[in-house]
Amino acid sequence: MFTGIVEGIGEVRNIRFLGSEATVTIRVPALFSDCHPGDSLALDGVCLTITSIKGDLFTLDVSAETLKRSTLGAIKQGAVVNLERALRLSDRLGGHLVSGHVDGTGILEKIEKVERSWIIQIGIDQPLSRYLIKKGSIAVDGISLTINRCMANSFDVTIIPQTASITTILRKRVGDRVNIEIDMISKYIERFLSHDKVATPEGPASRIDRDMLIRYGFGEANGHF
């Protein structure tokens, strides 16, 4: 589990494809010296497992599913990536809960400088855009960001100077792809509501609606609506 607060930038030193899978070796900053083989590390928002460490070089395995769903399938030697170590339970949650399980990719459509910050527009497919809400959270290349505006197939976020200085986001160009992870809470809510409408072996389909909530004491008389 991560927070989307990027801790440093790494450099891809080697990527080796092994059939449908791969291993990637990155050079990491000194901050990551407390990591060990077996630890989780987020690369551009993708949760990977460290398999070996040699000084400041970390090697990590990349599954076929990850290569297909994220930007790691097209990554090149010399590329730079956002890095974040796994969240400790005692840490402050500065961003939002990020699993590192990328839902898909988006395309950088526009970068606009506004005073000290930048407004970035990212295009995504409708299957992902339906989860977005204004002022909701989203992870872009592992960066926890707040959605300013939602359109049919795109959204805007603001990049403040601090985020620009410690991440790779402004090294991207219009047309580049970025990893997208939707806020997991919205996915759980959708799953819960869609499952509730489907009949199961234990009984017929049910539905959470206004009438059901009133029956269970969440009615107007109790001040809930």
Q: Which domains does the chain have, with CATH numbers?
A: 8-85 (2.40.30.20), 187-218 (no CATH)
pLDDT cut 70: percent of the chain above it: 86
Angle, CA of 183, 184 and 185, to the nearest 5°: 95
Burial call 98-108: b when 16+ CB within 10 Å, e when fewer: bebebbebbbb
pLDDT digits (tens, 9 = 90+) for 30-63: 999 999 999 999 999 999 999 999 999 999 999 9
What's the rounded mean pLDDT across residues 55-72? 97
What's the rounded mean pLDDT across residues 72-84? 96
| β-bridge partners, 80 | 11
Q: Could you give the C-alpha distances from 163 to 118, 133, 160, 199, 202, in angstroms and in order?
A: 10, 21, 5, 46, 49
pLDDT of 22 strictly over 90: yes
Q: Which two tokens stand for residue 118?
A: 């930048």
Q: Is 148 left (phi over 0), alpha (psi -120 to 50) or beta?
A: alpha
**Mean model confidence pLDDT for the chain:** 89
Q: Could you identify the residue written with the tokens 């395309």?
A: 107
pLDDT of 196 strictly over 60: no
220: part of which helix (H) or strand (E)? none
214: part of which helix (H) or strand (E)? helix 210-215
- When pLDDT is cut at 50, 70 and 90, the band that residue 153 belongs to is very high
How high is the pLDDT of residue 193? 75
pLDDT of 224 strictly over 50: no
pLDDT digits (tens, 9 = 90+) for 84-128: 999 988 877 888 889 999 999 999 999 999 999 999 999 999 889
CA distance 83 to 68: 20
How high is the pLDDT of residue 93? 80
What's the rounded mean pLDDT across residues 138-154? 96
CA distance 209 to 194: 13
How high is the pLDDT of residue 198? 52
